Chain A
Amino acid sequence: MDEYILIFRHEDGKKIASPEQMQKWMKQTMDWIGGITAQNKFSGGNGLPFEDAKVVGYNGVVTNGPFGDIKETIGGYIIIKADSTDEAVEFAKGSPVLQGEGNTVEVRKIAKRDGVH
């Protein structure tokens, strides 16, 4: 079994959702993760709040937020266990993040510390 990271990319991090909308997403996310956990395939994860985010650039230049020329930003990630990339992709399809048009979930296999990858 391999580990995969599912990275949530939001098309526009500056969009502000209503508290009701946020709460709905939270609940959906909890239930989605709960479903993965119930299959004993959840390894961990975190939400990454947009506020107070910084980007450190070349020569130590610090800018506010990850929103430069492109609006797209990372909102969080989870790490899951799956037998194949296909299975990981199936998990990703259930992510509530995908309800937002333009949002994506990136599926990446995590390198094993076996000296090969």
Chain B
Amino acid sequence: MTSEELIPHLFRTEFTKITAVLCKLFGIEHIQVAEDIAGETFLLALETWSYKGAPENPVAWLYAVAKNKAKNILKRNQTFSKKIQPQLKNSVVTSSEIEIDLSEKNITDSQLQMLFAVCHPSISAEAQISLALRILCGFGIEEIANAFLSNKETINKRLYRAKEKLHHEKVQIEFPSEKEIDKRLDNVLTTLYLLFNEGYYSESSDNILREDLCLEAMRLTYLLIENEQTNLPRVNALLSLMCFHASRFAARKNENGEVVLYQDQDEKLWNAELISKGIFFINKASQGKIISKYHLEASIAYWHTIKADTKEKWESILLLYNQLLQIEYSPVAALNRTFALSKVYGKQEAIKEAEKLQLTNNHYYYTLLGELYKDINNTKAKQYFEAAYSLAKTQTDKRTIKKKIAGL
């Protein structure tokens, strides 16, 4: 690897580690300082390595530089606080030698604790995801803006406000207490779930970026599984769900970047290794007594890894959606349940149920009605598809619906 390739690669993997460790050391109020030190470290690497070539152990070099920069800042602050606060006898930073621990264990611990800090309920879900992408996944502002189909300015503002809020709320970078862990973990899982979905369903045309988002969500979820206290059934269920979904990555888009619907996908393109990983984690997830929404969604995703339409498949999916809706209602789940119902009891039966849903501001609702009326009453089907078309917001959705109209 040349230094030109090496630095971006290391940036992805090491920037977040350095930031997490330093931020843990300094406290969340100095998150910007931690980011700056990590950033400057890479800048120095870029300047030095381009001329002298990369050092023998680039990671050790980065850690050493980051450590020195951090120590300098701490010393400077020490002098500063000594001068203005001489009355403080028991200053916290009295030792002349400051330890900055960049061991593998401390890196993992710091990242895990940062994950809990970033997923703090005091900031919005969008801000949590943006912060996670920046601090824990090492994404650039432009990449985050691209993923959210937003601009750099908006993302910068969002990140700034989120950091201010975390500071204001005095959020600690620590592992939540035994009592709190369950509640806080739910929030972390929601953020990771949204982070994954952001990649999976993103409108961004950048395929690599979208896949990266999903892989990062999976990496962070795996971090929780590797930790004894957070290696809980629902965490395994979430990872299983992600594996099953990710297994269809290559099959979901054609060479023109257009979405290929599930029933039209070439199952030879499904990733068998990810499917078997998904099965592994769903088995691990089934050890507890509690069935979370991740368990149900993972089970539904599992059935979707079997392409053939069998009675057993759709009866199982219908049952799972029935249960999922009881745990957490969502319009998408209600629509998918009705689709499963049509596979089990036929279209006529499903139409009756679908018309009761009245999700009239949802284009998927009209798409579903169009699908159900197809071959039963094509005039009605067309009307519904057209209603869906006028409600659809994204080009991808509009294109998909247009194809359906043409196929009537």
CA A49 – CA B337 in complex, angstroms?
Answer: 28
Given contacts A39-B356, A39-B357, contact A34 B321 (CB under 8 A): yes
- Residues facing B in A20-39 (CB within 8 A) are 27, 30-31, 33-35, 37-39
* Residues of A in contact with B, size category: 10 to 19
Rounded to whole Å, the gap between the CB of B313 and the closest CB of chain A is: 15
B137 contacts chain A at the CB level, 8 A cutoff = no
Closest to A42 in B: B326
Indicate if the CB atoms of A40 and B334 lie closer than 8 Å: yes
Indicate if the CB atoms of A34 and B322 lie closer than 8 Å: yes
0/1 string, B282-307, CB within 8 A of A gives 1: 00000000000000000000000000
CB-CB under 8 A from A39, the residues of chain B are 334, 356-358
Closest to A40 in B: B329
CA A110 – CA B356 in complex, angstroms?
Answer: 23
Rounded to whole Å, the gap between the CB of A66 and the closest CB of chain B is: 27
Please count how many residues in chain B sit with their CB below 8 Å of the partner chain's CB atoms. 17
Q: For chains A and B in complex, what number of residue pairs have CB atoms within 8 angstroms?
A: 39
Specify the main secondary structure of chain A where it touches its partner.
helix
Among A30, A31, A33, A38, which residue has its beta carbon within 8 angstroms of that of B334? A38
CB-CB under 8 A from B322, the residues of chain A are 30-31, 33-34, 37
B211 contacts chain A at the CB level, 8 A cutoff = no
Closest to B333 in A: A38
Rounded to whole Å, the gap between the CB of A23 and the closest CB of chain B is: 12
Closest to B356 in A: A39
Among B319, B329, B333, B358, which residue has its beta carbon within 8 angstroms of that of A30? B319
Rounded to whole Å, the gap between the CB of A98 and the closest CB of chain B is: 17
0/1 string, A35-53, CB within 8 A of B gives 1: 1011110100000000000
CA A30 – CA B316 in complex, angstroms?
Answer: 12
CA A38 – CA B337 in complex, angstroms?
Answer: 8
CA A35 – CA B338 in complex, angstroms?
Answer: 8
CB-CB under 8 A from A31, the residues of chain B are 318, 322, 341
CB-CB under 8 A from B341, the residues of chain A are 31, 34-35
CA A37 – CA B319 in complex, angstroms?
Answer: 12
Among B315, B319, B353, which residue has its beta carbon within 8 angstroms of that of A38? B353
CB-CB under 8 A from A38, the residues of chain B are 325, 333-334, 337-338, 353, 356-357
Closest to B325 in A: A37
CB-CB under 8 A from B321, the residues of chain A are 34
Among B315, B318, B326, B358, which residue has its beta carbon within 8 angstroms of that of A37? B326
Q: Could you list 6 further interchain pairs (A-B, Cβ under 8 angstroms) beyond the known A33-B326, A35-B341?
A: A27-B319, A34-B325, A34-B341, A37-B325, A37-B326, A38-B333
